[in-house]
Structure 1
Amino acid sequence: MSETELEILQQLESDRQRLHMSYSNIEHRVKPVWMKYRLFFLVGCFLLAVVVGLINYLSHHFHTVTPCLSPACQWASAHLSTSADPFTQPCDYFLYTCGSDRLLLDSERGQRSHGFTLHTENQRKSVQSKQEDGGLTEDKTLSRKAVLLQYLKKILETDNGMNSSAVQKTKGFYHSCLDTQSIETAGADPFLTLIQKLGGWAVSGQWNQTDFNTTLGLLMRDYNTFPFFNIFVGKDPYEAARGINKRYIQIDQPDLLIPIEWNSQTEKSRAKTETLRPFLASCQKYLDLLGAPKSSSLIHVGSFVSLSSQLAVAFSPLESRLSKGQLYQRMTIKALQRQAPAIDWLGCLQAAFHPLPLSADDDVLLHNLPYIVQMSNTIIKWLNKPELSNSAPLHTFMVLNLLHTLMPAMDSRFFETAKNFSMALGNTEEEAPRWKHCVLETERGFDSVLTHLLSEVTAQKEAEKIIQSVFNSFKSKLHELEWIDQTSRQLVMEKVDSAIPKLWTTKEPSSEAKLDLLFSEMTVSNQNFFSNYVQLLSLWQKKRIELLITQPEDIDILSVRPFLFGKSLLFPMGMFVPPLFHPTYPRAMNYGAAGFLVAKDILHLLLPDISSQSKTVYAVGECVWTHYLTVSEKAGRGGEFPLSAAQQQEVWVQYTALQVALQAYHQNLMQQPNDTSLSGISYTRLFFRSFSQVNCEADPYHDSMPFEPAFLITVICAKYNLCPTSPQCSIQTKQNSLQAC
């Protein structure tokens, strides 16, 4: 036996002893009110018997423990060697606060931007990253979205030579997006050529004076552009509440390019006065880049800003429309035509949903009828202005909206103009790297292919095993809580027992043949991103039709957080990618990272029920905070700062999540004691090393965490005596005097 193997066996023997001691400590320390009940006593005896069995089993099976040598483990080992080890770092390692001294890869804060941006339509999935690297380092924390994007990037850049047609087109689209040299060489010519196909443009002096509604219908059908109103497909929530799942065409106010502000006192909107000058300058710059004559461009820009300002007056924020009952107003297309006659509603909707047959008697749902009426009146006034002929300002308005839609495929001069305008509005977010932008744009059109590729490489069986194991550990943890009364406990437990945790996957995965057929009409060129992007926009029309006539499974490939759907607790595949999870990793690594995240998400989803019915949440939060104050005071950071209710809850959530994940791992070891090792690190220590790399991940709750969650390692080590060596922190000197949390 080699010296390394001997060291691992010695560390594992220490793990075994600590595991035995930890469960003994739990048995003596955890004494909730209801512990007197016979059922719990029997369960405790059963668990104790299982632990004893595990100890005996481990004693006779050390020879099965081997280091993990898979490529994934070799990569993880290399990165682990460059990351901070909580057991060898000074005490300050545990005393940082999330978001202050540590860089976050991805703030994941969706911010609505104004003006010409890269992809307003997909803002809910956009990622603004502060670091291009998604690796594991001491001064960077992992963001789930950043990790997933890195993994999708790897998938798109891997060529195994056996790709189907749809996969080849997906990767070709991605690589054409990365080819910035070809994009820069093409300049504005592709867009100008497209404008000529649409009948020209009054600004350039070459325009065949196309009909207003004809041009609008073409933009809606072929280019996914909706200048005067938005269209999407969805259910009527009032019908859905009664079990009716029919989908309808829904019409909403558009995403105007001009910045808008809402006056809650007058309940009126208007264009932001202070932004009009930079907005006017940016529009002027776009016309210059498109070769518009300077002699006439200012007039057209002025008309564009004026029309935008008039449309902005009828805008209302969602909260206001909701309070006034302006959402989901049902109306036939025929009735809508009478209310807003400037738009050929049947013709435009037939174009947007071609070749699906629509009639004037079909119902649509409106989300701001006053805006639609005002928009129609505004268009009629502009059409009838004597000083303006042939609706040139309306046509320019539509062309500039089309430019906005195609902005991601334009050269860098257009992007810099958009960036400068965004900075003038006070937005200071750093630019995302090109590869990330290209992954997001690829996902917009080829999400079904990426879902297929991700499902092929995701170890679904292993992921589901972790989900179920952590969920079972979570349920057992609930039995330790002190509840307000037995009824409260029963209500929560009934809800938890009825939940069905599972991996979020499609019921019928798309076959390669089906995907090839879906993208059969698309021709992808590795050197023509603009052409590829225009074809991508046409895919959105197919998706609208599919949503209206079928019941497709809406799988979000970029989803990284679970959600409740009926009784199902669905965990997206994006949570189970390297370096958070890999089927060849030691299970200690998977449970320390992915297992902890699963536990934390479950607790957040069910926190309102638990915190309102249990006395334990705030008591444990304060107890852990006392540990932290003791150490931070000793380190000279002094002062007792009371925690808010949100902070107490978040401390309890993350502390409990770490306990739940650790317990799930230990229970898994009872069933399969032959886990592998990494870099000669023992099981428990490897678990904590893995946890320490995701403990401060950017999530919606990290602002409520009053200290670096890695500090929780010291609390658990002090409580259960589980750790192979005590972390180098001053808590060692006081752990015996602090109460167990």
Structure 2
Amino acid sequence: GSAKEKAIQFYRSCMDTQQIESQGTQPLKDLLNQVGGWNITDVGNGKDFNETLQTVMGRYNTFPFFRVHVGPSPFNLKTNIIQIDHPEFEMPPKSKFKGKNYLEVLRVYLSYLKKLGDLLGGPQDDPSDSFSLTLSFISNLQQVVTPLQERQQRGMLFFLTTIKELQEKAPAIDWLSCLQAIFYPMPMNYSQPIAVHDMDYLRGMSQLIEQWPKKRVLHIYMIICLVGNLSPALDSRFQDARWELSKILYGEMGSRMISAERWRKCLTDTSSFFEPVLGEMIVQEIFPQQTKKLAEQMFSEIQDALYRQLDQLEWMDEQTRQKAKALVSELQVEIGYPAYILQTDKVNLEYQKLELNEDTFFLNVVTCLKVLRENSYLKLLQDQSQHNWHVSPWTVHSYYSIRHHMVVFPAGMFRSPFFHMEFPSAVNFGAIGVFMAHELLHTFYGYVLPGGCPTCNRSALQKSIDCLIKQYESYSFKVNGTFTLLENIADTGGLTIAYQAYKNWLKKHKEKDLPKTGLSHDQLFY
């Protein structure tokens, strides 16, 4: 079948709660037995440990000790590279809580692990002790993560290395075999380039694995990560356990992150595996070509208004002004959706190996994880000319990518209240137009930073900056005008440019009225 038919099949299997409840824990129990189950005893040697790790990473897309993904190389923007970082922990780290509160977090998480163990027939010999020791291991593993701010200060965000060097620095992991399992059938060798985000973490992780007295705990930790990754595909008892955990750890807001309505959960799960398919369906539904055309015309008008605004900046010298205009004209503008999602044949090809069964949601999730893994090696072979968006077409979130000098406005933004084909232009420019101008101004961040424009009139620029900082710090609610400066420039400047663009638009287009509001066009804009 087509990718669309498979997405619908997946969604239906998720919605079939009667079937999911009737199967209970058996699908996951069967899977756990394939990786040794909870009660493995002979895990004394590194070979067993690495074989289990290769299975959970390569077959089930689960990353207990480190996360592996493919992304654009920071050293060559046109190529992709394997990137390795610390894992995403389900349990929040100690740094997020004060001493007494953290003990409560440990107690709650331990209770959650025991509940999972009860549901899945967890470790038989003293499960409480097994889970307590595993919790202790997780806590120790979190402590070797280098905080992001420290990595930024020390210039450690990207460290270019090879598998051979990784093997020397973090020898507890069989790196070649693990990466081969993830990227199979692509051949790996010791000279394979890797970008590491936290080398100190990998060293500390390796030492912890080698020195940890009870090797069985390492296995139980891998099983817990696998269960955490796959349990959302199981019956309501698992959903309830996760919801309770989230509520206690993060409060009501955290529990809201887990969808209460089944259709929302199923839509989220389907979108995580079938994003281009859902993207195409939504674009066809909410983003006709005339919407795209009007949005592009509006953006062009905003670009023109910015060109004129640049001519009026007193602090900018002529050479910088021309460079700034070139920045605007060279900007890549993506509106609505990435082009490839409408290339149905290509999308169908991406999902051609996927075989689903409407009766078994759990096995469908496992199958989709396998296809995700297989697609990751294909990404390695692609160059970066086809830019992947950071957001889905249906999201309400625009952004500017410094790396690609590109602005993105997804189709989800071109809906009421931000935009409508029947709205007066004043409303469209005052809403989506301001977002467009805001993102456009992000291209000039460099100029306002210290030393960012050596040929500019720095005193005139500083006077404008100080004025804006003072304005934001004069509001009744507390704002750090210096800390929020770059966003404030984009907000206030974006409003000015969008308004000027609207005025220019009126010279060429007839305006609509909203007679019942009693508001002028300017009032509608603001």
Fold match by TM threshold 0.5: yes
Equivalent runs, 1:480-495 vs 2, <5 Å = 483-484=314-315, 487=317, 491-492=320-321, 494-495=323-324
- 1:532 maps to which residue? 364
Cα RMSD (Å): 4.1
* Offset at residue 478 of structure 1 (A): 4.5
Partner residue of 2:440 out of 595, 602, 613: 602
* Offset at residue 401 of structure 1 (A): 0.5
- 2:86 maps to which residue? 253
SS of the equivalent of 2:82 reads: strand
* Offset at residue 408 of structure 1 (A): 2.8
- 1:449 maps to which residue? 277
1:379/1:177 CA distance change after superposition, 3 Å:
same
* Offset at residue 396 of structure 1 (A): 1.4
Contact 1:591 1:687 in 2 (8 A): no
- 2:243 maps to which residue? 419
SS of the equivalent of 2:274 reads: helix
Take 2:210 and 2:434, find their aligned partners in 1: how far apart are those partners?
59
* Offset at residue 567 of structure 1 (A): 8.1
| 2:256 paired with 1:431 | yes
* Offset at residue 177 of structure 1 (A): 3.7
| 2:328 paired with 1:503 | no
Equivalent runs, 1:298-697 vs 2, <5 Å = 298-324=128-154, 326-382=156-212, 391-429=215-253, 430-432=255-257, 433=259, 434=261, 435-456=263-284, 457-459=287-289, 460-479=292-311, 483-484=314-315, 487=317, 491-492=320-321, 494-500=323-329, 501=331, 502-504=333-335, 506=338, 510-526=342-358, 528-551=360-383, 552-558=386-392, 560-565=397-402, 568-574=405-411, 576-579=413-416, 580-583=418-421, 585-603=423-441, 606=444, 609=447, 614=461, 644=481, 654=491, 657-673=494-510, 680=515, 685=520, 688-689=523-524
Take 1:227 and 1:465, find their aligned partners in 2: how far apart are those partners?
48
* Offset at residue 404 of structure 1 (A): 1.3
Counterpart of 2:362 in structure 1: which amino acid? Answer: F
Equivalent runs, 1:99-118 vs 2, <5 Å = none
> What is the CA deviation profile of residues 63-101 of structure 1, one whole-angstrom value per residue up to 9, with x for unaligned ones?
xxxxxxxxxxxxxxxxxxxxxxxxxxxxxxxxxxxxxxx
Counterpart of 2:328 in structure 1: which amino acid? Answer: A
- 2:122 maps to which residue? 292
| 2:232 paired with 1:232 | no
Counterpart of 1:592 in structure 2: which amino acid? Answer: G
SS of the equivalent of 1:671 reads: coil
SS of the equivalent of 1:251 reads: strand
- 1:151 maps to which residue? none
* Offset at residue 319 of structure 1 (A): 2.7
> What is the CA deviation profile of residues 7-60 of structure 1, one whole-angstrom value per residue up to 9, with x for unaligned ones?
xxxxxxxxxxxxxxxxxxxxxxxxxxxxxxxxxxxxxxxxxxxxxxxxxxxxxx
Contact 2:470 2:481 in 1 (8 A): no
1:608/1:339 CA distance change after superposition, 3 Å:
closer
Take 1:246 and 1:643, find their aligned partners in 2: how far apart are those partners?
39
* Offset at residue 589 of structure 1 (A): 4.0
Take 2:344 and 2:58, find their aligned partners in 1: how far apart are those partners?
27
* Offset at residue 359 of structure 1 (A): 1.5
Count of aligned pairs = 494
Q: Percent identity?
A: 28
Equivalent runs, 1:188-267 vs 2, <5 Å = 188-202=25-39, 211-237=48-74, 239-240=75-76, 245-261=78-94
* Offset at residue 338 of structure 1 (A): 3.7
| Greater radius of gyration (CA) | 1
1:593/1:458 CA distance change after superposition, 3 Å:
farther
1:329/1:568 CA distance change after superposition, 3 Å:
closer
SS of the equivalent of 1:365 reads: strand
Counterpart of 1:594 in structure 2: which amino acid? Answer: I
SS of the equivalent of 2:126 reads: helix
Take 1:256 and 1:686, find their aligned partners in 2: how far apart are those partners?
51
Take 2:65 and 2:117, find their aligned partners in 1: how far apart are those partners?
21
* Offset at residue 188 of structure 1 (A): 2.3
| 2:7 paired with 1:170 | yes
> What is the CA deviation profile of residues 633-678 of structure 1, one whole-angstrom value per residue up to 9, with x for unaligned ones?
xxxxxx99999567898777656544543443343333232x5566
Take 2:487 and 2:67, find their aligned partners in 1: how far apart are those partners?
39
* Offset at residue 352 of structure 1 (A): 0.4
* Offset at residue 358 of structure 1 (A): 0.8
Contact 1:449 1:515 in 2 (8 A): yes
SS of the equivalent of 1:231 reads: strand
Contact 2:305 2:501 in 1 (8 A): yes
SS of the equivalent of 1:425 reads: helix
- 1:80 maps to which residue? none
Counterpart of 2:167 in structure 1: which amino acid? Answer: Q
1:517/1:298 CA distance change after superposition, 3 Å:
same
> What is the CA deviation profile of residues 287-345 of structure 1, one whole-angstrom value per residue up to 9, with x for unaligned ones?
11223376632232123123323433422212333444544334432343344333222
| Greater mean deviation of Cα atoms: 426-435 or 611-620 | 611-620
Structure 2 unaligned residues grouped into runs of 5+? 450-457
1:688/1:602 CA distance change after superposition, 3 Å:
farther
1:683/1:536 CA distance change after superposition, 3 Å:
farther
* Offset at residue 550 of structure 1 (A): 1.0
1:594/1:175 CA distance change after superposition, 3 Å:
farther
Contact 1:236 1:248 in 2 (8 A): yes
> What is the CA deviation profile of residues 383-439 of structure 1, one whole-angstrom value per residue up to 9, with x for unaligned ones?
xx5xx6xx5332211111001112332333323333333444354415144454444
Contact 1:342 1:380 in 2 (8 A): yes
The TM-score normalised by the length of structure 1 is 0.58
Take 1:321 and 1:176, find their aligned partners in 2: how far apart are those partners?
43
Take 1:328 and 1:660, find their aligned partners in 2: how far apart are those partners?
37
| 2:110 paired with 1:276 | no
Contact 2:39 2:123 in 1 (8 A): no
- 2:455 maps to which residue? none
| Greater mean deviation of Cα atoms: 519-528 or 349-358 | 519-528
* Offset at residue 494 of structure 1 (A): 3.6
- 2:454 maps to which residue? none
* Offset at residue 526 of structure 1 (A): 4.6
Take 1:589 and 1:529, find their aligned partners in 2: how far apart are those partners?
45
